[in-house]
Amino acid sequence: MNSKQYFSAFNSRTASRFAFLFSVLLAVAACGGGGLTPTTDVRTSASGVRALPASFTTRPAVNYSPYRTATSDAGLASEIITDANVEQDLRLVVAAGIGVIRLFDSTEKVATTTLRVIRAKNLPLKVQLGIYVQVGEDNFTRDQMARGVALANIYRDIVDTVSVGNENMVYWSANLVATKVMASYITYVRSQITQPITSDDNWAFYANAPKELLDTLDFVSMHSYVMVDTHYDDAKWDWRQTSLPESQRAAAMMDGALQATKADYNLVRSYLDSKGFSHLPITIGETGWKAVDSSGADWYKFRANPVNQKMYYDRLQNWAKEGRNGVGPKAIFWFEAFDEQWKQSDDKWGLFNKDRQARCAIQALNPPSSVWVLESGNCAEATAAYYKPPVLNAAVTETRYLIYTETTSSSDKFPIGLRWDPFAKTFWQPVTTTHAPSDGTQSYEIDPRPETWGWGLLYQSPDKVTENLSNFTQGSIRFSLKTSYAGKLEIGLQTSTQDAGSEEAFLQIENGKYGCSYQTDWCQMVIPLADFLSINPKLDLRYVTSRFMLADRFDITKNTLKAGLPKIYLDGVYWNR
């Protein structure tokens, strides 16, 4: 997937202990705009290309990372990777029918440990070794290249191919490296090893890659994530399959997923052929399907599922067999072997979950045992996810939609079954010590109690029942406020969508805006619904989930006071037509 900051897990003190292995290589490296001085080793025909190893055309493949306990980028550096854990992982990978693994970096912690275990335990695995490239960190990148070269030579019997970089050249990369610089890295590394070399990147890059980069490769390793595309490019392929009965949609969606992946491959293949690079074979370095929607916003509610993952995996394996002996990719690397908690919203791609339990895609390969533990759940295709249009409730016709007020009338709707939910430690309670004028005898007292990132409170259905408030589009949200808060407060809304995804909009409101000054006395704030819709037109008021959100996310508001925050009193909260 997206390039991850493996750089944060790199230990420079460890690097110094191994400097003697790489001193010759580093001594001859010459800086050239962040890259290395390229040699003249350019391959423009099949005669100059190093052939893919037999392992690629005979064995299923998977991406592998050994991290188990880290729950964030920062946690990678402190996690201890043991030989025993890596051995357990790799034996499970072998039991899953995998014969080739791809590593993302050449660190001692990951790559050296993994290669050492494979050799020591004589495991039937071959490796595509990664060399991680970090833009703006030339010393780190050079060290990665030095380590990669050393490992490729020391473990020549295991390392079948080498890949320099991971999603560094596609336009949306957060770790963007110029193709000229990457070409110099690849050319230099290739001059030090005997294995075929590539750079892993998204299909969109390789469908328009420049000659200066393609000239340096022995093969192309492209990535394709058609499930992710359904969120960012909804029209790319028909995942909903609404023309079919619901009973047929899951299978049709997964057939469509394979066809969409093939379309990505064909775009790359056609481009390479048209530019005189028909001699370059193509592998798919990453593709996969989430078993669980970890986006936190229901992005993949009707797609992410262990059974759908199995359906995609099975289809890919059949295509891989075709490609090895005919037209198609010469290898397909599944992303990924095991779940990775540290990726958070980008987790749950694993053939095994974080507890090393086999998911539906591979459960049938071995009988259950103390070693081969199955993840619980029904793996029948009848339980696969598929698109279901959301329930559209009748539009609220009353004049006011109440959230918190003691003053009501017959023209109001007071919904039931809703509750206040906090972000982290935010605390709230009704109090009678103060209240808005002409609004009963009590108000809500909110104590922010922030985390390092901020705090928040939202009003919603615990069962995600939506409210159709489309009649309020021209109306406003009104509430009374009493606080001495310094800086901006955030007021927000959240809605579901036609795809049961999630959209939100927050307004950052400073003192004095919308008719309310933060002070010791009560004031009323009136916010037009149009203001929320203007910052996020994807809000769908037919499917309102969080009817009201109050928050302060420090990186967005830029508030400087982050501790000892004053209490906020809230009263008379409602939507008004």
From 351, 383, 415, the end of a domain falls on 383
Token reading at 230 = 């359904």
- Does 417 map to a domain? yes
Report yes or no on 392 lying in a domain.
no
Residue 423 is predicted with a pLDDT of: 84
Q: 32: pLDDT confidence band, cut at 50, 70 and 90?
A: very low
In a domain, 388, yes or no: no
pLDDT given at position 498: 79
324 pLDDT tier (thresholds 50, 70, 90): confident
Same domain, 65 and 169: yes
Task: For residue 393, give both structure tokens.
Answer: 């409730």
Q: What confidence tens digit (pLDDT) does each residue in 50-89 have?
A: 999 999 989 999 999 999 999 998 999 999 999 999 999 9
Of 460, 461, 443, 457, residue with least CA distance to 406: 443
Q: Is there a single domain that holds both residue 444 and residue 556?
A: yes
Residues in the chain: 577
Which residues, 6 or more positions from 272, have their beta carbon under 8 angstroms from its beta carbon? 206, 214, 220, 278, 280, 282
What's the mean pLDDT in 332-352? 97
Q: How far is CA 526 from the centre of its chain?
A: 37
Token output for 363:
């459960």
Instruction: For residue 395, tell me if it sits in a domain.
Output: no
For residues 339 and 147, what is the distance between their CA atoms, to the nearest angstrom? 26
Q: Give the confidence band of 205 by pLDDT, cuts at 50, 70, 90.
A: very high
Last residue of a domain, which of 330, 356, 383? 383
> The dihedral of CA 368, 374, 378, 379: what is its sign?
negative
Q: Are both 346 and 453 inside the same structural domain?
A: no
| Rounded CA separation 486/475 (Å) | 28
Is the model's pLDDT at 437 over the cut of 70? yes
Total Cβ atoms within 10 A of residue 571: 24
332 and 303 co-located in one domain: yes
- pTM of the entire predicted model: 0.77
21-35, 191-205, 322-336, 433-447 — which is least confidently predicted?
A: 21-35
Asked if the model's pLDDT at residue 35 lies above 70, the reply is no
Task: Please say if the pLDDT value at position 22 is more than 80.
Answer: no
Band of pLDDT at residue 464, cut at 50, 70 and 90: confident
> Residue 527 belongs to a domain with what CATH number?
2.60.120.430
pLDDT of 460 over the 60 cut = yes
236 close to 206: Cβ distance less than 8 angstroms: no
Q: Which amino acid is at 181?
A: V
Categorize the per-residue pLDDT at 8 as very low, low, confident or very high, splitting at 50, 70 and 90. very low
At 239-279, the pLDDT tens digits run 999 999 999 999 999 999 999 999 999 999 999 999 999 99
Instruction: Give me the pLDDT at residue 45, please.
Output: 58
Q: What is the mean pLDDT of residues 20-26?
A: 37
Q: What is the CA radius of gyration of the chain?
A: 28
The answer to whether residue 117 scores a pLDDT higher than 70 is yes
Residue of 221, 255, 218 lying closest to 238 (CA atoms): 255
Q: Are residues 451 and 539 in the same domain?
A: yes
Write out the two tokens for 504.
């939100």
Does 51 share its domain with 90? Answer: yes
The reported pLDDT for the residue numbered 326 is 84
Domains of the chain: total: 2
Residue 394 falls within a domain, yes or no? no
Q: Which helix (H) or strand (E) holds 574?
A: strand 568-576
Q: 353 and 488: one domain?
A: no
pLDDT higher than 60, residue 342: yes
- Tell me which DSSP letter residue 564 carries: S
State residue 36's pLDDT score: 58
The residue segments making up the domain with residue 51 are 6-383
Find, among 128, 129, 228, 217, the residue nearest to 169 by Cα.
217
Strands 126-131 and 489-496: unpaired
CATH of the domain at 175: 3.20.20.80
Phi and psi dihedrals of 489, rounded to 5? -110, 150
pLDDT at 46: 66
- Residue 439 has a pLDDT of 93
Give the per-residue pLDDT at 144. Answer: 98
CA–CA–CA angle 27, 32, 35 (5° rounding): 80
- DSSP codes of every residue in 483-549: E---S-EEEEEEEE-TTS-EEEEEEEE-TTGGG---SSS-EEEEEEHHHHHHH-TT--GGGEEEEEE
Give percent above pLDDT 90 in the chain: 84
Could you tell me which residues come within 8 angstroms of residue 193 by beta carbon, excluding any fewer than 6 positions away? 149, 152, 153, 162
Identify the residue with better confidence: 177 or 73.
177
Residue 44 confidence (pLDDT) above 80: no
Residue 200, strand partner residues: 166, 221
Inside any domain, residue 472: yes
C-beta of residue 224 within 8 angstroms of C-beta of residue 312 = no
Q: What is the full DSSP assignment across 437-500? A: TTS-S-EEEEE----SSEEEEEEE-TT---B--GGGTTSEEEEEEEE---S-EEEEEEEE-TTS
User: For a pLDDT cut of 70, what percent of the chain falls above it?
Assistant: 92
- Token pair of 576 as six digits: 């008004």
Cα dihedral 554, 556, 559, 565 sign = negative
Same domain, 374 and 319: yes
Rounded to the nearest 5 percent, the helix, strand and coil shares of the chain are 30, 20, 45
Residue 335 shares a structural domain with residue 471:
no
Mean pLDDT score, 354-375: 98
262 assigned to some structural domain: yes
Q: Which of 322, 349, 383 is the last residue of a domain?
A: 383
Over residues 168-173, the mean pLDDT reads: 96
More confident residue, 429 or 42: 429
The two structure tokens encoding residue 416 = 């039931």
List beta partners, residue 477.
Answer: 527, 575
Average pLDDT of the chain is 91
* Mean pLDDT in residue range 29-39: 43
Is there a single domain that holds both residue 303 and residue 449? no
Could you tell me if 429 and 517 lie in one domain? yes
Which has the closest alpha carbon to 90: 55, 116, 129?
A: 116
CB 311 within 8 A of CB 379: no
Residues 308 and 203 in one domain: yes
The burial class, CB within 10 Å (0-12 / 13-18 / 19+), for 470 is middle
Quick check: 193 pLDDT over 50? yes
> Smallest Cα–Cα separation from 162: which of 129, 210, 188?
129
CA–CA distance, 108 with 407 (Å, rounded to integer): 67
Binning pLDDT at 50, 70 and 90, where does residue 9 land?
A: very low
Indicate the pLDDT class of residue 43, thresholds 50, 70 and 90: low
The answer to whether position 1 is within a domain reads no
Paired residues of 574 in beta bridges: 402, 478
